[in-house]
Amino acid sequence: MVSVFAHAPGPSRRPREDLRRRLTAAILGGYLLASAWSVGIAMAWSAAAPGDSLRAADGVLIGAMSALVVCVLAVLWSFAAPSVRHAWAGLFAPAVILALLSILVAP
């Protein structure tokens, strides 16, 4: 019986509190990182040719389309990280770096 369901989702072995914190990190941290990513990529892309509205629009599209993938990866990371602290660190640190990048390259 165990072998049949070994590869299917079973009852969680994680403490409920850990699960709740990881879900919070996945939803809030994932959105935070995706938002920072979308802005950072858009700003960096448009910074190569300031004043070019076509390039700026391309940056916005690339940033948003790739941010959706980043959000998925962030959610996966939230559950794959060894601890909730690691999960938040892995989400928050790149978000801060991207936010700083978007401020630095702002026109």
Binding region for another protein (CB under 8 A): 4-5, 7-14, 19, 23, 26, 34-35, 38-39, 41-43, 46, 53-54, 56-65, 67-68, 71-72, 75-76, 79-80, 102, 106
Query: Based on CB atoms, which residue is closest to another protein, 65 or 97?
Result: 65
Shortest Cβ 93–another protein spacing (Å): 19
CA terminus-to-terminus distance, the chain: 62
**Measuring CA to CA, which residue among 107, 13, 28 is closest to residue 71?**
28
Shortest Cβ 107–another protein spacing (Å): 8
- Which residue stretches of the chain are H helix? 16-24, 30-47, 53-80, 84-104
Residue 32 has phi, psi (to 5 degrees) of: -60, -45
Shortest Cβ 17–another protein spacing (Å): 13
